[in-house]
Amino acid sequence: MPIKQILLVGLVGALLVPGVSARTITYFDSGWANSVTLGSATFQCSANYPVCIAVGITFIADTSTVTPFSVTGARGFKNLIGSGSVVVSDGTRTVRANFLPGQIYVSVDQQNAGVGFGSAYGPTYPLATYGSSVPGQPPTEPTYDLKSNYAVGGWSPFCPDPVVCQTGPPLQTTAGDLSIIPIGPSDSVFTSTLATPEASTFTLVGVGSLALAMIGSRRARRLLCWSAIAEGSTAS
């Protein structure tokens, strides 16, 4: 099944989750990388298979700390306060860690159709999703403000300046330093889920596990990676 259809299946599942008044919200983004170092663990793709490392990031926050922003060339909303975690898998190994405080934040750029996790390097590193499989196309809900249930599939560019991201200080986690060498554009999915037991489980399964089950044997190795990422996101 084409990746666009898989993402649409996940999107439909996520949108079936009813909106709730709970203020705790979980943001999740997943994508692919060429090379990742997390503490003592190093993941490296081969030249023949340059997109082999699945990366998933979860950020649990409160909707009351969402604030608007407007700068030259971008406008939207950001949430700087929360607790983040990361899962990295190549299908044979999976490593998990928590980000130390202040390492990442979540934001949505309504003007440029991007949403995901930023850091001192920029708003799209360590991971972000542009809301379409076609670069430049707008997301399905351009008025998204980080305060509601949401899901979008698209593509991830990771760091806007790979040289800076590879040579600057890495992000700090409980497992050690995190460094990601991006590969892109590559498939990516972003979700946000207001806290209820049903919403947390159903949305992540709808966007992650259900989609994975439909990928088929043609992408068996990727299925193993995404399964590990989905497991890590629900365990966060």
**In the chain, where the domains are located:** 3-235
> So what's the pLDDT on residue 69?
94
- Beta carbons of 129 and 190 less than 8 angstroms apart: yes
Q: Strands, DSSP E only, in 73-132?
A: 74-79, 82-89, 94-98, 105-109, 114-119, 122-130
> In order along the chain (236 residues), what is the average pLDDT of each group of 10 residues?
40 41 85 91 88 93 96 92 96 96 94 88 87 54 84 76 66 94 78 73 45 40 53 55
Percentage of residues in the chain with pLDDT exceeding 90?
40
pTM over 0.85: no
SS3 content of the chain, % helix, strand, coil (to 5): 25, 45, 30
**What is residue 111's predicted lDDT score, i.e. its pLDDT?**
84
Instruction: For 139-183, write each residue's pLDDT tens digit.
Output: 544 688 999 999 888 887 666 666 666 666 789 999 999 998 766
